[in-house]
Amino acid sequence: MNSTFESLGIGLVLCETLARHGISEPSPIQREAIPAALGGADLLAQSQTGTGKTLAYLLPILERIDPASKELQAVVLAPTRELGVQIASEIEKIGGPAGIRGQALIGGAAISRQIDRLKLHPHIVVGTPGRVAELLRLRKVKLHRVRTIVIDEADQMFALGSAKEAEEIVEGALRDRQLLFFSATLPPEVRRMAGRWMRAPKEIEIDPGQRTAGGIEHLVFVCEERERIDTLRRLVRLYEPKSALAFVNDLDVIAEVAAKLQHAGLSADALYGDAPKQERTTLLNRFRTGRLSTLIATDVAARGLDIEGLTHVFHLQPALDADHYVHRAGRTGRMGRSGWSISIVTEHELFIIRKFEKQLGIVIHQKAMFKGKIVEPDQVRGAAARTAGRTTGGGKPEASKPVTAKGAAATGKPGASKPAEASVRAAQEEGAPRRSGSGELPPLRSRTGGFRTLGAASLRNERELDRPAAPPQPAKRPAGKPKAAREADRKNKGAPRWLKEKREQGQNGPGAQ
């Protein structure tokens, strides 16, 4: 059904601002959520990542804000700093022309500067639960006039352990406040919290059976464990994405992956969840502006990232579960655009991908790389079989075609000469006699290093055979760093200086010997 934002109850000023930014038609989640939120109902809304959930709750809030008042009227809680900054940017872009002021209260930033900016009386604050709760305890944020509280990415909020701070904020607001939960998934713990905090919430589910965006193509490539990083390198070379995210599960391998991709000449870097705020901001700015094409990150580090034009998501290690896969894949294919979600797994991990297919109701196609192209796995197996057939002379068993050294030399075929040479070498090692072209028996090298002829042996060789063998000496291990130190060096390869220093402090701490 076609509709406009104006028909949903959004005022002319906001509609004109949306049109200037090329937003003219509401998405399905916006069509369902905006009228309900304008009516004052509590909402429990689920929709795939990248379907416009941010505007689905921001537009009703902005429409109900009184710009003439100096009171704080709405709070938006986000699980990560980057997501909070993005939401604050949307408030400034859409609400700024209407005279609506917003402010970001993000953990990791200078709290004194945030306190100073609160003196400008923002109408909306966007923040991480920890920082908003801290300012609430300091009485720098007052919620007695707040009418709406939004918890964005609610499932991730509680998964990251912020439920206590979020509850403190909700309890500090008015009893008749409006509470809006928006999320890509609604696990049981989110529903339990909603049942405790909300009053008869309205549930909105957009295509609940389809938890990933329809424009995403899901692929999987199978490789050996030792070939993971090289497979990623080859895929990046083949697809040449303008911007791509590569997810890993283990924080210790991020530096190694980034270093190897950089060594291969690719524009890649690592995003650490606990990196200093300025370093993360600089890195993400490079990624957004196209100066960096591939970003390696964990699920925690990349939560809530909305990178415009992100076309490819690589799972260097399979997602921990179906929900994590949804959030990873949701970084691409946003707002109806096309995208690729590509998993790199071993043969033993392939069952995880098939489990995701069943749980998410999607098809993940298995592909392979062959001669610089993306092909079906059958094509690679067929080419390998044809190559093996040529090597063994048309696929016939080797034993059915005994080849002598003389016959191999006569045919001149490489496939025939190699087995013949091997037979000759085996005969030499075993001491079997063989005749030369003149019919004489040439001398053969014995196992002891001397020479013998048929029926005779040198005195030296006889003595060597009678001498008892020396007991084997244990191999001396070359002196070097212990295994733990070598493993630490491998993990530190390519890591930034601050991370190396952090790891060294952990190793040389009070409990270290």
Confidence at residue 477, expressed as pLDDT on a 0 to 100 scale: 56
Q: What's the pLDDT tens digit per position in 282-298?
A: 888 898 888 999 999 88
User: Count of CB atoms within 10 A of residue 242's CB?
Assistant: 11
Confidence at residue 30, expressed as pLDDT on a 0 to 100 scale: 92
Confidence at residue 478, expressed as pLDDT on a 0 to 100 scale: 57
Confidence at residue 193, expressed as pLDDT on a 0 to 100 scale: 84
Confidence at residue 430, expressed as pLDDT on a 0 to 100 scale: 44
Confidence at residue 438, expressed as pLDDT on a 0 to 100 scale: 44
At 9, which amino acid appears?
A: G
Cβ-Cβ contacts under 8 Å for 333 (sequence gap 6 or more) = 50, 212, 213, 214, 215, 216, 339, 341
At 169, which amino acid appears?
A: I
Question: Cα separations (Å) of 183 from 61, 163, 301, 386, 510?
Answer: 17, 15, 18, 51, 43
**Selection from 9, 142, 15, 122 nearest residue 65 by Cα:** 122
Number of Cα atoms under 13 Å in the Cβ half of residue 116:
5
Cβ-Cβ contacts under 8 Å for 122 (sequence gap 6 or more) = 72, 101, 102, 103
Confidence at residue 20, expressed as pLDDT on a 0 to 100 scale: 92
Alpha-carbon torsion angle 185, 218, 86, 53, nearest 10: -40
**Are residues 84 and 33 in contact, defined by beta-carbon separation less than 8 angstroms?**
no
Confidence at residue 511, expressed as pLDDT on a 0 to 100 scale: 47
Name the residue with tokens 């075993």.
430
Confidence at residue 263, expressed as pLDDT on a 0 to 100 scale: 93
Confidence at residue 475, expressed as pLDDT on a 0 to 100 scale: 61
Confidence at residue 425, expressed as pLDDT on a 0 to 100 scale: 45
Tokens for 247? 């997810």
State the Cα–Cα distance between residues 155 and 322, nearest whole angstrom: 13
Confidence at residue 416, expressed as pLDDT on a 0 to 100 scale: 42
Cβ-Cβ contacts under 8 Å for 68 (sequence gap 6 or more) = none
**Selection from 157, 156, 165, 174 nearest residue 135 by Cα:** 165
SS3 500: helix
Domains, the chain, ordered by start: 12-205 (3.40.50.300), 216-381 (3.40.50.300)
pLDDT < 50: residue spans in the chain: 396-458, 511-513
